[in-house]
A and B are shown apart, each in its own frame.
Chain A
């Protein structure tokens, strides 16, 4: 089954959207009923239901491009296979690379998609593609996955951030972009230290003084709103009202509060400790966490670097899944491992593998996932997708559906309806529970 990826969705009937609805939307706009920007009105009851279920997405972003051959789609014995063997897993008939023995035991909780063909093999462009499901368009800035999850699963007035992104490496670093969803859904982005920016009370200002001046700010703002009654002013006040709660979430980032045994369990690597923070955040109700591990870009010595990186991934990811499970959180947390692309089956002169977007893999575990399932396959050397080709749009649609978000739901940007997953991209139902 092959689906064509489309670059632009405009709500055209040719793209399968409902023309009448679209025209009505346009008319409503002309009458000033629903104006510009993002239309906030949608099915509130359904959204509330989702939020009550308290679901989370935890994205392990393998920046630089992890090799599918040394992880989820090994080709032992083939010229492209490299030195590593495959091992059987807890999921009958599913074999993965021997570098992942711990994950092998957990494969009944994991789904693998081995048939990504995303075409773009340039780091920045491909990362944007995988995180928005779309190639860049000049006229509209699509939000990335994390911002959409934050909006769909987050509680507007929560004391915890709705999206935290941990990306302390410089390689492949991109600032998460909420696009047209706007600042409310921007990530709390940690790229300098594990401490969120501006979360500490300023020196010399007591807690009481901090609260009192906020009361004064609110008094002045409410007076200003009296004869205006403007949503933008109320939203502005609501944002400031979250400040004190967010300042308290400071402790979530403090691993000193975690028992030493737990820190040992995750391992004293940056990736391990970041994954532990991610678990703390999820436990505290943060709906979207992204943890980046860089830099997988193994143009040289692919096997040495993957021995180390995949070993670490195996340990951290398996620890995370078990820890979430023990806390009863895996049912409600979707853990995704994803890169911007995979690596070439062909091994280059430097014993490296290069950028490769034509036939690669990603995995999903936990919430909404049919454990032990595999979708798609590549040919015997891994050069092409042999079955079940999917693209970035399908990845997004599948992630959304796994946590109960309708991928066809539309945002209105100006007059244009924009579906969460690009038009024509369907969830990969084979990997969903």
Chain B
């Protein structure tokens, strides 16, 4: 079968499994994760941190699965729930919420688009995919080769169209995002550190994209019928690049007999009056070979998702997957990527398994006298700064009215959540991005300290938090409610005493309330996922 046609048929056949089966077997996957990590702890002779407490778990999972902190009702409800299965129940509830697709669509956008993230139509496309439980292979295929005909599918071309004039970006970003490999270093010379990557790999990967161009006024991402990359190696030898995948697999190109008068697409377009797909698509070949030799593809996404949920990749950094930089937990990456590929590249299954694992559910505190273990052992939860979107949405949520809690239907919940997101968007520019070694900036601290938009949250009005707190007569009730709403937990006795005394010492109680809310929202406990 012709290869691009084959890809097309595959895309059509890749239908979502029924929702009920979607998460069947997740527990076994989580158990296997636990086994492999526990073996790793044993051989490194470390004892892991204590399990995370219920409410910290709820906060962590809510941030990770739906992108915001729990509401007052969710936190107090979870605390009151006596079911032994309540964590699993929370995961299922969160993953069934329409907010799950809203959040993960945005997460995948950041992952895929990097510095070009934020294109609303592309995010909407990804969100539809998450809501439909689309496999990661299908997302990859749609991004690389479409089909882009239907309006709903059109934005899938944005990954390519944002980079179409820059073959280095196409090559490098595709390799980093979808294959966990940074090949840019191999452009000028064979990779200095990694014997895996030579110039032939770089230009081999670039060859999958060198025929990609923007076509016509509509700027369709198109592909030419011919053209090769020539490069000179360090010894001065000239080469015509082979179309070669990272695995070393070379794609053979059939020879087509083309009317010499119609030698390229532009001429054919003129003659035939419409855009024509190439006779042979190198990008379609990339999709085929990447899914056939699937280790790069499946491991890269497992590693990215793991890093998103645990704060660090099994292979670290996530774009440095190569033979000299193995996973820090032996066999785990291989196990999870095999499982993923065997289950339709279901991200839901992968995400559910990870958040159900013991490693995910460890505390971020360290009480032992022993030195804390290295981050690569995942023996203690890592602090992860909230993303600007998470931080802004969460702050506006907790300080505001509790409209989200009152949503009765999915549609209403989506609407409320998107209102929250729209309000948050105005603030994210001033907030610090999540980076590996998070560094807070004076810009954010000044913004949170003095910006009128932030101060506005603290002015009593309508049913917002400060207004609600003001109606509570007793100070201890006031501080308890503030803590449950903002931190999603009860205060311990020391904290309560301190806060009560702090409030009671103030003459202007409503003003003191506002200050309390500000201090809780700007505390590190709120700023980080922990």
Q: Is the CB of B375 within 8 A of A32?
A: yes
Q: Is the CB of A14 within 8 A of B446?
A: no
Q: Is the CB of A138 within 8 A of B172?
A: yes
Q: Write out, one digit per residue, whether chain B residues 498-523 have a CB within 8 A of any chain A CB (1) or not (0).
A: 11001000000001000110111011
When chains A and B are docked, how far (Å) is the Cα of A209 from the Cα of B458? Answer: 13
Asked if B134 is at the interface of the complex by the 8 Å CB criterion, the answer is no
Quick one: given A138-B172, A139-B319, A232-B437, are A220 and B515 in contact (CB under 8 Å)? no
Q: Is the CB of B115 within 8 A of A36?
A: no
Q: Is the CB of A36 within 8 A of B450?
A: no
When chains A and B are docked, how far (Å) is the Cα of A261 from the Cα of B212? Answer: 62
Interface positions, chain B 179-237, Cβ under 8 Å from A, are: 182, 184-185, 187-189, 191-193, 234
Q: Is the CB of A201 within 8 A of B432?
A: no
A135 smallest CB distance to B (angstroms): 9
Quick one: given A14-B234, A182-B439, are A209 and B450 in contact (CB under 8 Å)? no
When chains A and B are docked, how far (Å) is the Cα of A415 from the Cα of B444? Answer: 28
When chains A and B are docked, how far (Å) is the Cα of A26 from the Cα of B326? Answer: 12
Q: Which residues of A contact B524 (CB under 8 A)?
A: 220-221, 224-225, 232-233, 236-237
Other-chain contact of B192, A19, A161, A231 (Cβ < 8 Å): A19
Q: Which residues of B contact A38 (CB under 8 A)?
A: 437
Q: Is the CB of B439 within 8 A of A32?
A: no
Asked if B417 is at the interface of the complex by the 8 Å CB criterion, the answer is no
Q: Which residues of B contact A2 (CB under 8 A)?
A: none
**For A7, A213, A223, A225, which residue has the most chain B Cβ atoms within 10 angstroms?**
A213
Asked if A325 is at the interface of the complex by the 8 Å CB criterion, the answer is no
Q: Which residues of B contact A42 (CB under 8 A)?
A: none
Q: Among A50-58, A183-191, A295-303, which stretch is in contact with chain B?
A: A183-191
Q: Which residues of B contact A15 (CB under 8 A)?
A: 188-189, 192
Question: Which chain B residue has the least Cβ–Cβ distance from A414?
Answer: B317
Asked if B365 is at the interface of the complex by the 8 Å CB criterion, the answer is yes
Q: Among A192-200, A280-288, A374-382, which stretch is in contact with chain B?
A: A192-200
Other-chain contact of B168, A31, A138, A141, A212 (Cβ < 8 Å): A138
Q: Which residues of B contact A120 (CB under 8 A)?
A: none
Quick one: given A37-B436, A239-B444, are A200 and B450 in contact (CB under 8 Å)? yes
A2 smallest CB distance to B (angstroms): 18
B15 smallest CB distance to A (angstroms): 34
Asked if A347 is at the interface of the complex by the 8 Å CB criterion, the answer is no
Other-chain contact of A12, B185, B455, B518, B523 (Cβ < 8 Å): B185
Q: Which residues of B contact A138 (CB under 8 A)?
A: 166, 168-169, 172-173, 176, 184
When chains A and B are docked, how far (Å) is the Cα of A40 from the Cα of B528? Answer: 21
Q: Which residues of A contact B498 (CB under 8 A)?
A: 219
Interface residue tally of chain A, by bracket? 35 or more
Q: Write out, one digit per residue, whether chain B residues 462-480 have a CB within 8 A of any chain A CB (1) or not (0).
A: 0000000000000000000
Q: Is the CB of B385 within 8 A of A232?
A: yes
Q: Which residues of B contact A11 (CB under 8 A)?
A: 192-193
Q: Which residues of A contact B184 (CB under 8 A)?
A: 8, 10, 137-139
When chains A and B are docked, how far (Å) is the Cα of A240 from the Cα of B450? Answer: 12
Q: Is the CB of A188 within 8 A of B442?
A: yes
Interface positions, chain A 242-271, Cβ under 8 Å from B, are: 242-243, 246-247
Q: Is the CB of B441 within 8 A of A229?
A: no
Question: Which chain B residue has the least Cβ–Cβ distance from A210?
Answer: B449
Interface positions, chain B 431-460, Cβ under 8 Å from A, are: 432-433, 435-447, 449-452, 455
Asked if B81 is at the interface of the complex by the 8 Å CB criterion, the answer is no
Q: Which residues of A contact B324 (CB under 8 A)?
A: 26
Q: Is the CB of A235 within 8 A of B439?
A: yes
Q: Is the CB of B445 within 8 A of A36?
A: no
When chains A and B are docked, how far (Å) is the Cα of A10 from the Cα of B319? Answer: 14
Q: Which residues of A contact B528 (CB under 8 A)?
A: 232-233
Other-chain contact of A22, B192, B383, B438, B515 (Cβ < 8 Å): B192
Q: Write out, one digit per residue, whether chain A residues 405-432 have a CB within 8 A of any chain B CB (1) or not (0).
A: 0000000001110000000000000000
Interface positions, chain A 19-50, Cβ under 8 Å from B, are: 19, 22-23, 26, 29-32, 35-38, 40
When chains A and B are docked, how far (Å) is the Cα of A8 from the Cα of B324? Answer: 22
A157 smallest CB distance to B (angstroms): 11
Asked if B428 is at the interface of the complex by the 8 Å CB criterion, the answer is no
Q: Is the CB of B193 within 8 A of A198?
A: no
Q: Is the CB of B192 within 8 A of A12?
A: yes
When chains A and B are docked, how far (Å) is the Cα of A44 from the Cα of B332? Answer: 39
Asked if B374 is at the interface of the complex by the 8 Å CB criterion, the answer is yes
Question: Which chain A residue has the least Cβ–Cβ distance from B444?
Answer: A183
Q: Which residues of B contact A203 (CB under 8 A)?
A: 452, 455
Asked if B495 is at the interface of the complex by the 8 Å CB criterion, the answer is yes
When chains A and B are docked, how far (Å) is the Cα of A202 from the Cα of B328? Answer: 48
Asked if A1 is at the interface of the complex by the 8 Å CB criterion, the answer is no
When chains A and B are docked, how far (Å) is the Cα of A23 from the Cα of B376? Answer: 19
Q: Is the CB of B495 within 8 A of A243?
A: no
Asked if A13 is at the interface of the complex by the 8 Å CB criterion, the answer is yes
Asked if B97 is at the interface of the complex by the 8 Å CB criterion, the answer is no
Q: Is the CB of B511 within 8 A of A209?
A: yes
Q: Is the CB of B452 within 8 A of A6?
A: no
Quick one: given A26-B193, A212-B515, are A161 and B436 in contact (CB under 8 Å)? no
Asked if B409 is at the interface of the complex by the 8 Å CB criterion, the answer is no
Question: Which chain B residue has the least Cβ–Cβ distance from A175?
Answer: B429
Asked if B312 is at the interface of the complex by the 8 Å CB criterion, the answer is yes
Q: Is the CB of B437 within 8 A of A36?
A: yes
**For B325, B432, B444, B445, which residue has the most chain A Cβ atoms within 10 angstroms?**
B445
Quick one: given A19-B192, A35-B436, A210-B449, are A161 and B442 in contact (CB under 8 Å)? yes
Q: Is the CB of B440 within 8 A of A236?
A: yes
Q: Which residues of A contact B242 (CB under 8 A)?
A: none
Q: Which residues of A contact B437 (CB under 8 A)?
A: 35-38, 40, 182, 231-232
Other-chain contact of B451, A36, A37, A198, A212 (Cβ < 8 Å): A198
When chains A and B are docked, how far (Å) is the Cα of A91 from the Cα of B123? Answer: 60
Q: Which residues of B contact A17 (CB under 8 A)?
A: 192
B205 smallest CB distance to A (angstroms): 12
Quick one: given A183-B433, A197-B447, A209-B515, are A415 and B320 in contact (CB under 8 Å)? yes
Asked if A227 is at the interface of the complex by the 8 Å CB criterion, the answer is yes
Q: Is the CB of A224 within 8 A of B525?
A: yes
Q: Which residues of B contact A224 (CB under 8 A)?
A: 523-525, 530
18 pairs, CB–CB < 8 Å, chain A vs chain B: A32-B374, A32-B377, A36-B317, A139-B176, A182-B439, A182-B441, A183-B433, A197-B443, A202-B452, A213-B516, A213-B518, A217-B522, A224-B530, A227-B365, A228-B366, A240-B445, A414-B320, A414-B436
Shortest 7 CB-CB distances between A and B: which pairs? A183-B441, A37-B437, A32-B374, A37-B436, A12-B192, A227-B365, A36-B436
Kindly list 7 other residue pairs between chains A and B, CB separation below 8 angstroms, not including A225-B524, A227-B367, A242-B445: A138-B184, A183-B433, A184-B441, A198-B450, A203-B452, A220-B495, A416-B185
